[in-house]
Every structure is written in structure tokens, then in C-alpha cells.
Amino acid sequence: MQISEAESRVMEALWRDSPRSAEDVVAELAEPNGWAEATIKTLLNRLLNKGAITAERDGRRYLYAPVLRREDWVRGESESLLDRLFGGQVAPLVAQFSQGRKLSPDDIAELRKLIEALDDEQ
């Protein structure tokens, strides 16, 4: 499922706290993003049409909640990035980050733990 950058901000708000009314989402996202109420409601409708969220009637308003789990979205985005930029290979991605910005000792320790855990699984 393709989620735009703007749509992902709406999803983040819903992943943090849901179900939420459109007014609640507008209150959180309008000012920091410089978005009008109509923009946020359009984004909610797009996400609803994509099946990423649901809307349940609550009196005169709708309450929105995510269907798409954040973990599933992150996994898909990560795989897409790896495929597009690194041919599906993880090592060139890590190499790029290590060249672009210095990895901290904590980053390196975390990578070592991850590699050890992967070795244990195989």
C-alpha cells in the first residue's frame, strides 16, 4: 500500500492514539504542518479509500482508526527502499550510512548484536 509523506503524518497521529475524530486529528496536525482543516480531511478520505484506516460513526461524527499496522508499513517502506536504492542488499545500505555519517559506538554495538542474533538463527 502506497502512503504519501503527508498521509504518513496522519497515520502517525492515528497510530499514537485512536480512534480519533477528524477534529482531533486536525487539532494535532494543522498548525505544525501548516495544513488547513480541508487538507487533513482530504488526507483522511484518501487513507479511508485506500483501506489504511476505518471510519466508524459516533453520533454526528466519525472516529478514525488505523487498519494498516505501523510495523507492516515500516517493513514495506524499508523493503522498497532497499530494492530501489541497493538492489535488495542490506550491506550497501549500512556502508552508505557509515560513510555518510559516523556510526557511534552504540550504533556499532547494536549492529554487532543484530548480526550475532541473525547468525544464531541460521
Q: Answer yes or no: is pLDDT of 41 > 80.
A: yes
Task: Say what angle helices 90-100 and 70-86 make with each other, to 10 degrees.
Answer: 80
Question: Contact, 36 vs 30, CB < 8 A?
Answer: yes
Tell me the CA distances in angstroms from 59 to 23, 48, 56, 91, one per residue in order: 14, 19, 10, 52
Single out the residue of 58, 55, 9 nearest to residue 29, CA to CA.
Answer: 9
What tens digit of pLDDT does each residue of 68-122 get?
A: 999 999 999 999 999 999 999 888 888 887 887 778 889 889 989 988 898 888 7
